[in-house]
Amino acid sequence: MQTETLARHTSSHHWAANTHALRLQTHWADCEDDVRDAQRLRYRVFAQEMGARLTPPHGTPPGLDVDRFDPFCDHLLVRAVDPVHGPGPLIGTYRVLTPEAARRAGGFYTDTEFDLAPLAPLRGRALELGRSCVDADWRSGSVIMALWTALGQYMVEHRLDTMIGCASIGMDDHGLTAARLWHRLCRTHLVERRWRVEPRVALPLDTDAQADDDSDTAPPAAPPLIKGYLRCGARLLGPPALDLAFNTADLPLMLRVDDVAPRYRQHFFGAPA
């Protein structure tokens, strides 16, 4: 299945530097080459840009981000399509793990970072989102909207009602921004107690971050991806985990279809607001 949305993008990239209106085309990987394209983009973003220390399976070709969950996942791709030159390079990707696929894989990736036992009643209809990334030249709201629209349609087709996953925050400041963001958002966006999960390796939430957050200084702005999730109706499942390999603090998030903001429900799921 492919979906397209209109977009206009200005980029230093030679292919994209044209005066034509571009279309963002999303489709699900249906061959090994598609999956390799996604893994190549992930490597550029996570390893080369963010400095992640990836540990792919033995024999993985260089320049790819690969882990044991990839063979069980469906991979969503978005490309910019020029009306004259046709499809361009891959500019964004997500991977998703269905409940059935998670059982075959031995669990969700999120299970490796959090104790998800409280979510047991939801897992049978829960989709895991992961490895989301967008090429640096294309980080715009239109790319994210194109990806989320395809994800919403996927959930409807598979009769799923819950999304779970992690949203990452860089650790360049040794976790201070992530800790401050948690202290702020847990007051307004934390799930009810019965759904709360605990990290397996917790980010230290020191008192300095709490005191700083309670001061008159401006609170940290949520990264665009987290802000988008929260605007749609996502909730925090608990405090952030420390991901040493990716050098990030990962916030566990859950979005249930019934909680999606009315203005997005029709667009993403085709359901009445």
Q: What is the pLDDT of residue 172?
A: 86
Looking at residue 192, its pLDDT comes to: 96
> pTM for the whole thing?
0.86
Query: E strand or H helix at 86, and its extent?
Result: strand 86-97
Return the residue matching tokens 């598609």.
34
Task: State the 10-residue block means of pLDDT for the chain, 273 residues long.
Answer: 44 46 88 97 94 91 96 96 82 97 97 98 97 89 88 94 94 91 95 97 74 52 82 95 92 94 81 51
Domain 2-269 has CATH 3.40.50.2000: no
pLDDT of residue 202: 96
Q: Cβ of 6: how many Cβ atoms within 10 Å?
A: 10
192: nearest Cα among 262, 93, 118, 97: 118
Say how far residue 46 (Cα) sits from the centre of its chain: 13
pLDDT value of position 4: 43
Q: What is the pLDDT of residue 83?
A: 78
The Cα 84–Cα 46 span in angstroms is 32
